[in-house]
Copies of this chain bind each other. A is one copy, B any other.
């Protein structure tokens, strides 16, 4: 067992003490912030998410705030997603690539005003990356971490819980839309219908860090009526649903076309963006790999580094993540495979940490 050192280099979420008091035991570090991942009952936490409702401290999902006269032009320059119809009040998933077309991060962009955006970042230093590009290309923007510590309420009962905690108005928030509001005794928040699961729910951004315990307690108190559980971003459900884990499913050289994000890249739009030329070349040449599902023989799912995949003796890619699916009662994985061996039904051999296993390629998602 590895004990995680708590020291001054890593940031604490504003809910850190509350997560510990609620029983969080298993942590990682994400965006240089402690991220509670588990409370000691992974299967129970999974069922809470898919059948009831669960509360996650995802303050580690830090924001990059972009402001100023060039904010809109700059945010468009960072992503190949066409943002020309992006309206205030909306969120958009926006893969970002480097100048070579490699996927760097896949934030959700929240448009707070015509000159104010948040990039809700996956693990990686998107703040300094964005500042580097802005400085090198002369964009007139401000770029800071607004420290807005989000909580996620996820699961089929998320609407009922959020309505009880915040008010019935939350039910009217559409998918990937948000509302700014005061909840409880006037706690300033932004409530967005979003989150890293396919079970429905909200992300709640806190606009006054000093009121974190109050916000947490408000949700927990309302949650008692709903069998609410505590949890964290769920590694089983996200594989079942094929939600990309950036930095896990893609390796350092992967482009968005290889990991099923090609639909977000608009090579026809007028606006220039980082990696455009490289991505156009990749498409012209042809995409070499594809992210696919695999069913794995047996129940070994303890993957701590990619498992090499073989067709006969030929290396054809790797399994990037694996889980035992309680709903499917099967072992499933996400594999980045050469296109010649990515067809549904292809039989592969995978070198797991517990020895070789047979694997069969399948389509994604495992559970729609």
Contact = CB atoms under 8 A, between A and B. Distances in A.
Nearest to A124: B125
A304 B133 contact: no
Number of copies: 2
Interface in A297-322: 303-306, 320-321
Give the residue among A128, A134, A248, A321 with the most B Cβ atoms within 10 A: A128
A120 B85 CA distance: 43
A2 interface: yes
A280 to B, nearest CB: 15
Interface residues of A, number: 50
Nearest to A11: B305
B32 A4 contact: no
A133 B136 contact: yes
A286 to B, nearest CB: 23
Nearest to A131: B98
A172 interface: no
A303 B125 CA distance: 24
Contacts of A351: none
Contacts of A245: 9
Contacts of A29: 10, 28-29
B28 A3 contact: no
B5 A37 contact: yes
Interface of A: 1-12, 25-29, 32, 34, 37-38, 98-100, 104, 123-125, 128-129, 131-137, 145, 235, 245, 247-248, 252, 274, 303-306, 320-321
Nearest to A27: B2
B9 A247 contact: yes
Given A9-B28, A99-B135, 11 more contacts: A1-B3, A2-B4, A6-B304, A8-B304, A8-B305, A9-B123, A12-B305, A125-B129, A129-B132, A132-B274, A136-B274
Contacts of A3: 1-4, 25-27
Contacts of A306: 8
30 contacts: A1-B3, A2-B3, A2-B4, A2-B27, A2-B34, A3-B25, A4-B4, A4-B26, A5-B37, A7-B28, A7-B248, A7-B303, A8-B248, A8-B303, A8-B321, A9-B248, A11-B305, A29-B29, A32-B247, A98-B131, A98-B135, A99-B131, A104-B128, A125-B125, A132-B133, A132-B136, A133-B136, A135-B274, A136-B136, A136-B274
A61 B234 CA distance: 29
B8 A26 contact: no
A160 B300 CA distance: 46
Contacts of A131: 98-100
Contact of A5 (B7, B27, B321): B27
A5 B3 CA distance: 9
Contacts of A321: 8
Given A28-B29, A132-B136, A136-B136, A7 B98 contact: no
Contacts of A125: 124-125, 128-129
B9 A135 contact: no
B8 A2 contact: no
A315 to B, nearest CB: 15
Nearest to A320: B8
Nearest to A10: B28
Contact of A28 (B5, B38, B98): B5
